[in-house]
Structure 1
Amino acid sequence: MAEVFTFPDSFPFTPLDVSTLLVFIVTFVLAARFLKKVKNPGNLPPSVPGGWPLLDHLPTLVSTNPRLQFDEWARELGDIYRVKALGDDIYVVSGYTTIKEMMEKEELSTRRDRCLFATMGGDHDIVMAPYGKVFKQRRRFATSVFKQLGVKMGRGSIQDQIQEEASSICLKISGYSEQPFDVSADLTTAAGNIICALVFGKRFDYGDARFQHLQTTMKDFGAELVKYKFPFIHYIPIVQDGAEGLRFHSKKLQQFIREEIDQHRLNLNPGDPRDFIDYCLLQLDQQDGGGTWLKEEEVVYIIQDLFVAGTDTTAATLTWALLYMVLYPDVQKKVQAELDSVLGATMPSLAYREQLPYTTAAIMEAQRIRHIAPTLFGRLAAKSTCLRGFDIAEGTYLIPNLRSVHVDPAAWPDPEVFDPSRFLDADSKVVNNPPSFLPFSAGRRNCLGEQLAKMELFLLFSTILQHFALKLPEGAPTPSTEGILKSLSMAPAPFQLCAVPR
């Protein structure tokens, strides 16, 4: 006979109390949704049908691949649609034209990520700072300093430091003696060292204890970051409460940066600033405590931005590019034939970029086929506005689905095929600004480090391909191209390759 549940004598509520409470909760949720709809009338985008009671579409997004799900819904509902999570409407924006229009709107230029906002700096940095006067001042300052430090074409370029790092990583690869190794780890080290040269005015030997401490901290920070960057995961209360690890490693990284700032302050020469920190210290002295847009705390967070956003993204892009060289050996041979024809034994430099169109196109195709940020930072509507004819109320949360731009079959036939010729015109010259291609985002918050990243990608990729033929280890399975979230970037799942000196 089935056992009948009864409330224990000590239970403070009667069954009637519990039933009344449940009815109240359900009534409250339904009323809140109704009032929300009444409060925000207008021409709204279509909503994804279905959903779970109370949870809406959250279980679907957590249990599936949201990137693919976003694309499927876009095909059904259009470039802008609404998806619900715990009663909240989130607008997903897809397609090149629509995303570009969104990014150019001032009302939609404030980033918002509910989990990362405070850890990444919130109001204090550049990446997550609300769009406005202070943000513009910080970004304008950082852009100016980058140019003065050589993040530009022509004389006085930072090219020498990048070439030095390219030589160092080739030396490291040679040390594997054609045995299998994980190239992503070495690329992350190289990209991190280039940021060190820009920010600290020095690169580190790969075995340097302090540099290894920085690398470990960055790796741990990135591992924690993965847990909170996944779309919609911030709606799960237990995850929201468990961000202590992310804050812990963020503080370790910030402590490293503060120690470097203290060292720079001891030997600062106002007439000869050496690096990003020096320029920041000079700006702080110039403000003499009266500035509102840059304080030492802001400097720490901005430098953290440079490391977090500038290391992993470049390394992930290069890892994808080398993976596709292994998967498409005919493309690899064409790149190397072009390098041999134009350079011979000469070290690659930016001056040769126009003479190496196929090499450049291979890098661009790697950026297209596996975009490292398939969903960008969410945007918050600072004011009510319209987008593609739909009303966007103030406070609306939007997610740009950038993956949809790079796999759009209308713009890129057979989008899953790796084909660098997509980026070459009839004269075999590079198409520099093709439509439906946004590897560095666009609009008012396009990537601050775009120019530096382009320099790194070209010099590191071409130098490695000039010196080594890349292949899979004997008997190894074909690596997956699905990708995994790594820090802020979508990177290949771990794989190994062999590098044979050429």
Structure 2
Amino acid sequence: MLASAGSLVATIWTALHLRTLLLSAVIFLFLAGYFKRQRPKNYPPGPRGLPFVGCIFQLDFEKPHLSVQPFVKKYGNILSLNLGDMTSVVITGLPLIKEIFTNKEQNILKRPVTLIRERITNNNGLVFSSGQTWKEQRRFALMTLRNFGLGKKSLEQRMQEEARHLVEAMAEEGGQPFNPHFSINNAVSNIICSITFGERFEYHDSQFQEMLRLLDEATCLETSMMCQIYNIFPWIMKYLPGSHQTLFKNWRKLKSFVSYMIDNHRRDWDPDEPRDFIDAFLKEMAKYPDKVTSFNEENLICSTLDLFFAGTETTSTTLRWALLYMALYPEVQEKVQAEIDRVIGQKRQPSLADREAMPYTNATIHEVQRMGNIVPLNVPREVAMDTTLDGFHLPKGTMILTNLTALHRDPKEWATPETFNPEHFLENGQFKKRESFLPFSMGKRACLGEQLARSELFIFFTALMQKFTFKPPVNEKLSLKFRMGLTLSPVSHRICAVPRP
């Protein structure tokens, strides 16, 4: 009896002791997190976050770019916003954006790498690499893009040919409602695929359609709450199901697709006659067989995927917004078509040489980019050394987010900031560039595909406006609701492409 009682007391004491230890550990971790978050001197003001998770529960992850704006009103144009374990600062307003992207740019050339992104790319590729890897890969990519047609008539002809395929695909819909998402994705992607893989893919190619679907899903998932929690607690989350696991699975499949294409290239590769980006990269790899450089298999896969993603997602999303805006603003669509009829007519294909004579069409494309706002907080940068901006101290390691949403809707910069209005880019009937228009960012890490994207947007948009009038389906209401991901894209919708007489 006494032995039983003693055993019971020992068990209770052990349980209480264990509970005390656990409680003490939790309190210690929270206190450690709290003191870690003590603001240094002259640090930008901002909302107080919780230990470990920061302010992520104060943001709406379906519209984070909009939920940031009340903080800007409260704390000012330089505000701190801790996201998980990552210290970030949001920069608002053209003067401050210009200051940090020009006068301070050498201090912010790095990219911050989340644990999700590190697992996907291992700091390889073009978009999220830094230092010597980024310099080598960007220089090589720009040179290779030029070698394979960027800025030349040959690539423009490929765009015109692809625009013709897209027009034919939409004509097959017979003016009936359809979802334009993946036909536009396929068409735009074929331009960068002709450079990276040396070939285009038919719109009914099931394998390629699956790649586009995986890319689209990954784009959406990476900003989900589960992925943000993975960035904070990877040692727990890696064992749990959720959108982060789907994201990793998708990227594995996308990497396998690129690896398959690389293996095919190796079978008949001729280093003296490179056909595309992969061939050129293999040639570069062969130059340094024993030297440690960024020209290796993993960087080939990641850089090819970066080109594939950037060359597909951003331009195709902008075109989807463009067709949506045309259906919702028929008076703008009529003016665009009138200009096309006057300058090009119905028989000849649009060319880049026509752009200068078509200020209204050019202004409309720019207004789509302003309102579509597809990268609302810009691709982030990281402060590489302690930096001062407007009297505030930005410690090394701080992530910089650029508030393009506020810039592109600033009432001081735009006459009707919340309204779709191509007149924002016109002055006395001529196209007018705007300093406060930064969809491609600015500086040395601005989008390397800007010239390609501008050309594609003009050729594809003009070709579609030339042949179709876009309308909402009967008894269906189109909206400007968006889907949040790495880009801001329209929610799934149907549209009618009615052939023009």
Flag whether TM exceeds 0.5 (same fold).
yes
Question: Which stretch of structure 1 is more off in the superposition, 166-175 or 207-216?
Answer: 207-216
The change in CA–CA distance for 1:443 and 1:181 in structure 2 (over 3 A counts) is: same
The change in CA–CA distance for 1:28 and 1:179 in structure 2 (over 3 A counts) is: closer
The change in CA–CA distance for 1:497 and 1:333 in structure 2 (over 3 A counts) is: same
1:167, distance to aligned residue in structure 2 (A): 0.6
Indicate yes or no: 2:208 matched with 1:211: yes
Tell me the equivalent position of 1:114: 114
Q: Do the aligned partners of 2:376 and 2:404 also contact (CA within 8 Å) in 1?
A: yes
Letter in 1 for 2:186: T
Tell me the equivalent position of 2:132: 133
Q: Do the aligned partners of 1:46 and 1:77 also contact (CA within 8 Å) in 2?
A: yes
1:203, distance to aligned residue in structure 2 (A): 0.9
CA distance in structure 2 between the partners assigned to 1:27 and 1:257 by the alignment: 47
CA distance in structure 1 between the partners assigned to 2:300 and 2:436 by the alignment: 35
SS at match of 2:164: helix
The change in CA–CA distance for 1:97 and 1:239 in structure 2 (over 3 A counts) is: farther
CA distance in structure 2 between the partners assigned to 1:388 and 1:254 by the alignment: 43
TM-score w.r.t. length of structure 1: 0.89
CA distance in structure 2 between the partners assigned to 1:283 and 1:228 by the alignment: 40
Tell me the equivalent position of 2:173: 176
Tell me the equivalent position of 1:100: 98
Tell me the equivalent position of 1:4: none
Letter in 2 for 1:491: S
Q: Do the aligned partners of 1:116 and 1:229 also contact (CA within 8 Å) in 2?
A: no
1:249-280: CA deviation from partner (whole Å, max 9, x where unpaired)? 21211121122222222223334322111211
Tell me the equivalent position of 2:368: 366
Match of 2:79 among 73, 81, 98: 81
1:186-225: CA deviation from partner (whole Å, max 9, x where unpaired)? 1111112222111111112222344334334434433543
CA distance in structure 2 between the partners assigned to 1:362 and 1:175 by the alignment: 27
Letter in 2 for 1:44: Y
1:305-334: CA deviation from partner (whole Å, max 9, x where unpaired)? 111222111111111111111111000000
Indicate yes or no: 2:412 matched with 1:415: no
Q: Do the aligned partners of 2:321 and 2:368 also contact (CA within 8 Å) in 1?
A: yes
Tell me the equivalent position of 1:3: none
Q: How many residues align?
A: 486
CA distance in structure 2 between the partners assigned to 1:499 and 1:80 by the alignment: 45
Tell me the equivalent position of 1:308: 309
SS at match of 1:441: coil
Tell me the equivalent position of 2:196: 199
Q: Do the aligned partners of 2:47 and 2:71 also contact (CA within 8 Å) in 1?
A: yes
CA distance in structure 2 between the partners assigned to 1:254 and 1:415 by the alignment: 41
The change in CA–CA distance for 1:202 and 1:14 in structure 2 (over 3 A counts) is: closer
Tell me the equivalent position of 1:330: 331
SS at match of 1:117: helix
Within 5 Å, which residues of 2 pair with 1:8-157?
Answer: 13=14, 15=16, 18=19, 22=23, 25-26=26-27, 29-30=30-31, 32-34=33-35, 37=38, 41-48=40-47, 57-62=55-60, 65-85=63-83, 89-104=87-102, 105-130=105-130, 132-152=131-151, 155-157=152-154
Instruction: State the Cα RMSD in Å.
Output: 2.7
Letter in 2 for 1:414: T
CA distance in structure 2 between the partners assigned to 1:233 and 1:483 by the alignment: 24
Tell me the equivalent position of 2:276: 275
Letter in 2 for 1:178: G
1:461-499: CA deviation from partner (whole Å, max 9, x where unpaired)? 00000000111111112x22231124x211111111111
Tell me the equivalent position of 1:249: 250
Letter in 2 for 1:455: S
Letter in 2 for 1:369: M
Tell me the equivalent position of 1:160: 157
What stretches of structure 1 of length at least 5 have no aligned partner? 1-6
Q: Do the aligned partners of 1:99 and 1:402 also contact (CA within 8 Å) in 2?
A: no
The change in CA–CA distance for 1:86 and 1:340 in structure 2 (over 3 A counts) is: closer
Question: Which stretch of structure 1 is more off in the superposition, 97-106 or 463-472?
Answer: 97-106
Tell me the equivalent position of 2:494: 496
Within 5 Å, which residues of 2 pair with 1:344-423?
Answer: 344=345, 345-423=347-425
Identity of aligned residues (%): 35
The change in CA–CA distance for 1:418 and 1:469 in structure 2 (over 3 A counts) is: same
1:78, distance to aligned residue in structure 2 (A): 1.2
The change in CA–CA distance for 1:230 and 1:449 in structure 2 (over 3 A counts) is: farther
